[in-house]
Amino acid sequence: MNALRRLDGFAWLAAPALVYLGLLYAIPLGLLLFKSLSAAGSFPSFAGYAEFFGDGFHMNILWRTLRVALLVTGLSLLLAYPTAFVLARARGVAQTIILIAMVLPLAVGVVVKTFSWSILFRSNGLLNKTLMNMGITDEPVRMLFTEPALVVAAANVFLPFMVLPIYAVVRQLDPRLLEAASTLGATPVHGFFRVVLPLTLPGVIAGSAFVFSMAVSMYVIPSLIVGERSQTLPMLIARSYLFLRDEQLGSSMSAVLLVIAVMVVMGSSALLRRLSGRGT
Amino acid sequence: MTRVEKMARWASWVVAATVVAFLLGPLIVTVVVSFTSSSVYTLPPQDWSLRWYVAASRKSGLAEAVGLSLQIAVISTALALILGTMAAISVVRGRFAGREAIATFAVSPLMMPGLVVGVAMLQAFRSVGFRDAWISLILAHIVITLPFVMRTLLAALERFDFTLIDAARTLGLSYPQAVLKVLAPGLAPAFLTSGLFAFLASMDNYPISIFLTDARNKTLPIKMLQYLEEQPDPTLAAISTGLILLALVVLAVGSRSVGLNRMVQ
């Protein structure tokens, strides 16, 4: 009763959403973790994990998944960071065009964009024709079903999620800070690394964590761009449930993917807290 | 401005222009390809025609898939708006422990692997013997749409000046009247943006839906991938163009009433 009294009236407003998410999201995920740790009716058992981690084929796929996600995050960051500054400075038509380029692809969805890339990457597709017309290659280059193609397509899909958090931070940057730095004798390069970069770091961390966790778990993009030839972990999980009916292995792999995602989320929010704690 | 600064500024404009082309290019290509007359993807098309739109309109199961996706997106977004608004008000206005944890928890499905959430739901539904695909899809899509509502409304409520409600009550409105006449209009832009993005996320979801559909209930993204495997002709470009048009309409509505810049915050 005492504990209840400490909750004010507003606390009850959150109850429906919490009960809902508890029943349809938290408990199912808990059950999945439980299942991944039990085999043939006995608990705990690490048979599923042993099957996953003991197999070079699976380890290769895990490594490829992480590598692709890292490359996608890196490429997105490289393109997004300058774009966020331009977007913050742009006015009028330029600002509208950049904003549309961010929001329209977000609104269109993954399936349509991935389909577009599968057209572009075809051996008789636009990219190959352009390359041949420019005389860079004589024969069409195989792009579809390669890892670079996957990285480019995924970076395209996730890029707005990197630009927008950085843009949110850059907008609040006080331009007088850089002036102050240069008045105090800092060179522009010095001013960037000592003033601008640290202040925009929260946006970079938030964007990178979001893009990485989505890139690790993407499913539609790799299944259309690289197919069965070089699978990623989510494709393997889907296969093990939808075709192989190997739920033991499937739930262990799901748990591995879940742990990676949770680690990224918790790691990034711990980093962000430390940054704001160190603060101004 | 020094030379270094000028060069940095110039280089960042080049990157931004590249990014705009990179993001919009694939969509433009899809729209152009959908009007080709040949059955291979030639660019630019040799001859223009609407044959792939005719083919799309005859595609079996497409209309049903579009209808189902619209139904699920509208119903799940509406329910998520109710649940999410209540929870967001509780987190922002309440003075109890664990409010931040509630906010993080309610936004977290956005960052969890969709496929894993889908598998987990499938197993949970099965373990209680629940098999109705339509209701499963609605229930699952509320988990997909809720984070969008929660995230946007938390930010909007943080900015809302709650003394306005007290002012309205001093002027003679009852509490429910004050909420309806002062709080609800103040939150309207947040309802609109979060609702639009939640709707689009539901329309686009593949990794969770794939585990919950049955032969009769297939959502649009699942149907599209199925068509792509069966017969990869430009019919899909025509369907995609329809979806791009839908996105444009949704964004036009959003930017007319809220403004593009506020939509991305």
Q: Each residue of B34-65: pLDDT tens digit? A: 888 777 766 667 778 888 888 888 888 889 99
pLDDT of residue B80: 97
- Mean pLDDT on B241-254: 90
pLDDT of residue B227: 87
Q: Name the residue in chain B with its Cα closest to that of A261.
A: B112
pLDDT cut 90: percent of chain B above it: 52
Tokens of B134: 């339509």
- A-B Cβ pairs (cutoff 8 Å, strict): 274
pLDDT of residue A1: 44
Place of tokens 């990485």: A212
pLDDT of residue A279: 46
pLDDT of residue A278: 58
Place of tokens 């490359």: A71
**For residue B200, which residues of chain A lie inside 8 Å, CB to CB?**
106-107, 109
Give the nearest partner residue to B19 out of A101, A187, A219, using CB atoms: A101
CB contact under 8 A, B113 and A120: no
- Mean pLDDT on B201-218: 91
B4/A148 Cα distance (integer angstroms): 33
**For residue B42, which residues of chain A lie inside 8 Å, CB to CB?**
124
Those of residues 124-163 in A touching chain B at CB distance below 8 A are 124-126, 129, 156, 159-160, 163
Residues of chain A with CATH 1.10.3720.10: 47-278
**For residue B12, which residues of chain A lie inside 8 Å, CB to CB?**
82-83, 85-86
**Residue of A10, A247, A256 to mutate, interface with B, max B Cβ within 10 Å:** A10
- For residue B152, give the nearest of B189, B205, B202, B105 by alpha carbon: B189
The total number of residues written for chain B in this structure? 265
A227 touches chain B (CB under 8 A): no
A226 touches chain B (CB under 8 A): no
pTM (predicted TM-score): 0.89
pLDDT for B19 beyond 60? yes
- The alpha carbon dihedral of B76, B190, B257, B200 has a sign of negative
B200 touches chain A (CB under 8 A): yes
A275 touches chain B (CB under 8 A): no
- For residue A102, give the nearest of B204, B247, B205 by alpha carbon: B247
Tokens of B1: 């401005």
Give the nearest partner residue to A17 out of B16, B87, B122, using CB atoms: B87
A126/B154 Cα distance (integer angstroms): 44
A235/A222 Cα distance (integer angstroms): 8
Give the nearest partner residue to A188 out of B5, B94, B204, using CB atoms: B5
**A42 SS3 class:** strand
pLDDT of residue B15: 94
Those of residues 56-85 in B touching chain A at CB distance below 8 A are 83-84
Determine the residue type at B155.
A
CB contact under 8 A, A13 and B84: no
Give residue-wise pLDDT tens across range B221-244: 999 988 888 877 788 889 999 999
Q: Name the residue in chain A with its Cα closest to that of B32.
A: A116
pLDDT of residue A6: 55
Give the nearest partner residue to B2 out of A32, A100, A188, using CB atoms: A188
pLDDT of residue B43: 65
Distance from CA of B172 to the nearest CA of A (A): 23
Looking at domain A47-278, its CATH class is: mainly alpha
DSSP A122: S
**For residue B196, which residues of chain A lie inside 8 Å, CB to CB?**
107
Determine the residue type at A19.
V
CB contact under 8 A, B207 and A234: yes
Give B1's pLDDT tier (boundaries 50, 70, 90): low
Helix H segments across chain B?
3-33, 51-58, 62-93, 99-107, 114-127, 133-159, 163-170, 175-178, 184-204, 220-230, 235-257, 260-263
Those of residues 203-262 in B touching chain A at CB distance below 8 A are 203-204, 206-207, 210-211, 221, 224-225, 228, 236-237, 240, 243-244, 247-248, 250-251, 260-261
CB A226 within 8 A of CB B77: no
**For residue A25, which residues of chain B lie inside 8 Å, CB to CB?**
109, 117, 120-121, 143
A99 touches chain B (CB under 8 A): yes
pLDDT for B251 beyond 80? yes
pLDDT of residue B42: 67
Determine the residue type at B75.
I
A207/A211 Cα distance (integer angstroms): 6
Place of tokens 């960042």: B12
pLDDT of residue B98: 85
pLDDT of residue B34: 87
Determine the residue type at B119.
V
Walk me through the domains of chain B, giving residue ranges and CATH numbers. Answer: 60-263 (1.10.3720.10)
**Per-residue tens of pLDDT for chain A, all 280 residues:** 455 555 677 888 899 999 999 999 999 999 999 888 887 667 777 877 888 888 888 899 999 999 999 999 999 999 999 999 999 988 889 999 999 999 999 889 899 999 889 888 876 667 777 777 777 777 777 777 788 999 999 999 999 999 999 999 998 887 787 778 778 877 877 878 888 888 899 999 999 999 999 999 999 999 888 887 788 999 999 988 888 777 788 888 999 999 999 999 889 988 988 887 754 4
B197/A165 Cα distance (integer angstroms): 16
